[in-house]
Chains A and B, each alone.
Chain A
Amino acid sequence: MILQLLTGGILIGGVYALMAVGLTLIFGVMRIVNFAHGEFVMVGMYLTFILYSVFGINPYLSVLIVTPVMFLLGWMLNAVLIKRLVGAPHVTQIFVTVGLSMLLMSLALIIFGADYLSVRSDLTTQVIDLGVLLGVPQVIAFVISMIVSIAIFIFLKKTFTGKAIRATTQNRHSATLMGVDVKKIYALTFAIGTALTGLCAAILLPIYPAYPTIGLGFVLMTFVVVVMGGLGSIPGALIGGLIIGIIETVSAYYFDPGWKEAFYFVIFILILLVRPQGFFGQIGAEEL
């Protein structure tokens, strides 16, 4: 049973991890707390739903469309709004990104209503039985999440642009001095972070229905994951996501499921007290 719980936790944790990778990039590089991150997932889910219901495109295929569209959306949002927030006081950042989140939720409510829109395919309740039961859509989501997270990690480590992004995370002033075009890096980071939410959205739609407030359920968890793993750290987001997933399933089984939020928030607070930079964060990175 514990094996079943662990695999269940790892599968759901993989999805949290992918969401957290986007957030941690933005958080780490731009020092902007993006509270609209969950709503980007929601927008992506509606986009995927439209592609499915109007054009009959399989959600997994629509990754190829939704991800670039969200990349563009992220780029545009950065150009008109987000770039003005870099270096602005926290209160301003909160107002703007929370405002953006409310705006997106209300728009979704106006356009799509409060209905729960879901994509049904035969895959939805399929399982792989390996002694432990693995849901097929969950496995697909997990595998894609892992591949993409690792790809992003390699991109940051190996490519020149990736290195420029990391340099900006470490110290934006020194990076500027070294000739990194910080503004461009910001735009790119925000667009990548947003594109990742689109990717998440497409692989989540076969599991969860789309509705205007679905982002709220995910975004709190994602923040916990990001802080736990360390701001700006991709491996941190991965491991943080998996840990939260496991805490959820194990605590819900052995205690009351109503307690699972309490469990991971207690762990979250403990980590903030003992190791405020998170597992993999560099010391000082938590100073916003």
Chain B
Amino acid sequence: MRLKLVTLLLAVFIVLAGCSSGGNTEEDASANDGDSNKENLKIGALFPLTGSLALLGNESYEGIKLVADVVNEDGGINGKQISLVKADAPDATAAQSEANRLISQEKVPVIMGTYASGLSLAATQVAERNNVVYVESNAVSDEITERGFENVFRITESASMQGDAAVNFTNEFLAPDFGVNTDELTAVVMHEESSFGTAVATEIEKKAEEMGIELLSIDSYNSETNDLSSTIHKYKELNPDIVYATSYINDSILFIQQAKQLNFKPKAIVTTSGGYALSDFGKALGSDANGVYVADAPANPNEEALTEKAIELKEEFTKRWEEEQGTPLTGQTWRVINAALVMFTEVLPNAETLDTEGIRNALKEVDIPLGELPNGSGVKFNEIEGQPGQNSRAEIVMMQWQDEELNLVWPDDFKTSEADNSLLFNE
């Protein structure tokens, strides 16, 4: 009988772990439904639309849909209307089965996704096995493009590029601002334990070592945690100059809230993307968010860094997004919009054939200089050793929470505001 209870509880954990894996399917004909299917070009859009990642999953989908709408209103891709096929992937198992469905039943020539790295790793595997192009718009784990897959392309930056930016910013701005040499600084690294956090932390560790920053502690944790106070107590004793943190939303709010509460005040908190870059983070923390640095894909860079066409696009999309969604357009959504723009206005119109080979070749040919995309990025593949599918021209910048909003503060040619270390936990 006692076994029964154990079995029962085990069954529950398994059920709970898998319970969010419902498959939502819905075809979203973005244009006139009257068109026959031949005139439509089906594109798979795979995101976590339900479950714990749903917030940004849905926002990502809306980003792609906005670009598809705009392109369709302008006549589509070489006369074909884009029809997005929506796939819901709340967990890795669902990501695989939905990728399978998009390929075998919907017969899409290209899938776009995925927001979360764990889901992307699962879905891209299916695409590669079935020889279908997968374009990653906003999951950043390096592993996605490190596996030597020839059909997987990522238009946004990789996690290691984020980690890189965090340490470069420390070297170029923080150290001089503190009035010390970079190799005199001490730091701790706190990261959530999934593929995303681990990849960022690994890069920070490597890069910090090169620069001579002393790392006092590296801590991983589960992003669903209810409490981070123990880690904060530990950091209080270690007293580092800088905390590097990578988190999802729930834990990012918890960390800053508890750090403030427990009176832990390092000289700077340098975070990378994830929860720290979200408007919900600012809303939840109010003025306590001020001063936190976030390395992220740029949103609203200084217009001097952009070409005229990019400024136009930036204004058009910002306006339409705010009209339709009623929220500000964040760096995270810009990633998706960029990816969709590249696919719908550069890659697909120029592909000789709309099959895997044609699209793959068109992707390899893309050559968009820096500053041509509305967030200041460009696109070029095949330039990074070991990661041919990674866009080497994805920009990554440093933002800071100031007056309860995110402002771009580094590098100098992108910045719209000045970085200020005194803002952190300032009453």
**Given known A253-B234, A257-B228, A287-B1, contact A127–B262 (CB-CB < 8 A):** yes
Residue in B5, B8, B20, B261 whose beta carbon sits within 8 Å of that of A125 in the complex: B261
Residue of chain B at shortest CB distance from A231: B5
Of the candidates A98, A101, A114, A213, which one forms a contact with B58 in the assembled complex, judged by CB atoms under 8 Å apart? Answer: A114
Question: Would you call B38 an interface residue if the criterion is a C-beta within 8 Å of the partner chain's C-beta atoms?
Answer: no
Q: Are A120 and B286 in contact (CB under 8 A)?
A: yes
Known: A212-B54, A258-B193. A118 touches B283 (CB 8 A): yes
- The distance from the CB of A192 to the nearest CB of chain B, in whole angstroms, is 23
On whether A248 and B227 interact (CB within 8 A), knowing A114-B58, A133-B263, the answer reads yes
Which of B2, B220, B258 contacts A272 (CB under 8 A)? B2
Total interface residues in chain A, CB < 8 Å: 55
Q: Which residues of A contact B15 (CB under 8 A)?
A: 35, 94, 98
B384 within 8 Å of A (CB atoms): no
Q: Are the CB atoms of A253 and B227 closer together than 8 Å?
A: no
**Interfacial residues of chain B within 44-84, with CB under 8 A of chain A in the complex:** 50-52, 54-55, 57-58
Report the Cα distance A237→B258, complex, angstroms: 26
- From B57, which residue of chain A is reached at the shortest CB distance? A114
Which chain B residues lie closer than 8 Å to A33 at the CB level? 8, 12
Which residues does chain B contribute within 8 Å of A276, judged by CB atoms? 2, 5
Query: Given A1-B237, A4-B233, A102-B19, are A120 and B261 also a contact pair (CB < 8 Å)?
Result: no
CB neighbours of B9 from chain A (8 A): 223, 227
Q: Which of under 10, 10 to 19, 20 to 34, or 35 or more describes the interface residues of B?
A: 35 or more
Complex alpha-carbon distance, A250 and B231, angstroms: 10
Complex interface: chain B residues within 8 A of A98 (CB): 12, 15-16, 19
Given contacts A1-B233, A257-B219, contact A213 B227 (CB under 8 A): no
Return A81 CB to nearest CB of chain B, in Å: 18
| Beta-carbon contact of A12 and B227 below 8 Å | yes
Name the A residues within 8 Å of B229 (CB-CB).
8, 249
Closest to A214 in B: B250
Please, which residue of chain B has its CB at the minimum distance from the CB of A99? Answer: B19
* Among candidates B22, B224, B234, B280, residue contacting A217 with C-beta atoms closer than 8 Å: B224
Q: Is the CB of B1 within 8 A of A286?
A: yes
The smallest C-beta distance from B268 to any residue of chain A, in angstroms, reads: 19
Q: Within 8 Å CB of B262, what residues of A?
A: 127, 133, 135
Say if the beta carbon of A252 comes within 8 Å of chain B: yes
Question: In the complex the two chains form, what is the Cα distance from A90 to B3 in whole Å?
Answer: 14
A115–B52 CA distance with the chains assembled, in angstroms: 10
Q: Which residue of B lies closest to A224 (CB)?
A: B9
The residues of A that contact B226 with a CB separation of less than 8 Å are 12, 208, 217-218, 221
Q: Is A68 part of the binding interface, using a Cβ–Cβ cutoff of 8 Å?
A: no
CB of A19, distance to nearest CB on chain B (Å): 11
A26 within 8 A of B: no
CB distance from B35 to the nearest CB of A (A): 30
B183 CB to nearest chain A CB (Å): 27
Specify the chain B residue showing the minimal Cβ separation from A217. B224
Q: What is the 8 Å Cβ interface bit string for chain B, positions 212-253, against chain A (1 contact, 0 not)?
A: 000000011110111111110110010000000000011001
B230, B234, B280, B286: residue with the most chain A Cβ atoms closer than 10 Å:
B230
Nearest CB on B from A227, distance (A): 7
Classify the secondary structure of B's interface with A: helix
Contact present for A257 and B5 (CB under 8 Å): no
Main DSSP-derived SS at the A contact region = helix
The smallest beta-carbon distance between B275 and chain A, in angstroms, is 9
User: Which residues in B have their C-beta under 8 angstroms from that of A212?
Assistant: 52, 54
Determine whether A220 belongs to the interface, using a CB cutoff of 8 Å to chain B: yes
Residues of B within 8 A of A250 (CB): 230
The distance in angstroms between the C-alpha atoms of A98 and B17, with both chains bound, is 11
Once bound together, how far apart are the Cα atoms of A35 and B15, in whole Å? 10
The reply to whether A220 and B16 contact each other, CB–CB distance below 8 Å, is yes
Is A209 a contact of B227 with CB atoms below 8 Å? no
Chain B residues with CB under 8 Å of A73's CB are none
Cα(A116)–Cα(B16), bound, Å: 21
Shortest C-beta distance, B292 to chain A (Å), equals: 14
B55 touches A114 (CB 8 A): yes
Across the interface, name the chain A residue whose C-beta is closest to B7: A90
Contact, CB under 8 Å: B2 / A286: yes
**A258 CA / B230 CA spacing, docked (Å):** 12
Report whether B5 and A5 are in contact in the complex, using a CB–CB cutoff of 8 Å.
no
Name the CB-closest residue of A to B56.
A114
Q: Is A181 at the interface (CB under 8 A from chain B)?
A: no
Contact partner of A109 (CB less than 8 A), chosen from B16, B54, B227, B260, is B54
Question: Is A165 located at the chain interface by the 8 A CB criterion?
Answer: no
Interface residues of A in 257-271 (CB under 8 A from B): 257-258, 260-261
Q: How far is the CB of A85 from chain B (nearest CB, A)?
A: 14
Determine if A87 is an interface residue (Cβ-Cβ < 8 Å): no
In the complex, which residue of chain B has the Cβ closest to the Cβ of A251? Answer: B230
18 contacts between A and B (CB under 8 A): A5-B230, A33-B8, A33-B12, A125-B257, A133-B263, A209-B280, A213-B20, A216-B224, A250-B230, A253-B230, A253-B233, A253-B234, A257-B231, A276-B5, A286-B1, A286-B5, A287-B2, A287-B5
- 10 smallest A-B Cβ distances: which pairs? A114-B55, A252-B230, A257-B221, A114-B54, A253-B230, A276-B2, A118-B284, A258-B220, A287-B1, A116-B280
Further 15 A-B residue pairs, CB within 8 A, beyond A94-B15, A106-B22? A1-B233, A12-B227, A105-B20, A120-B286, A125-B257, A208-B250, A209-B250, A216-B16, A217-B224, A217-B226, A223-B12, A249-B230, A256-B221, A258-B222, A260-B225
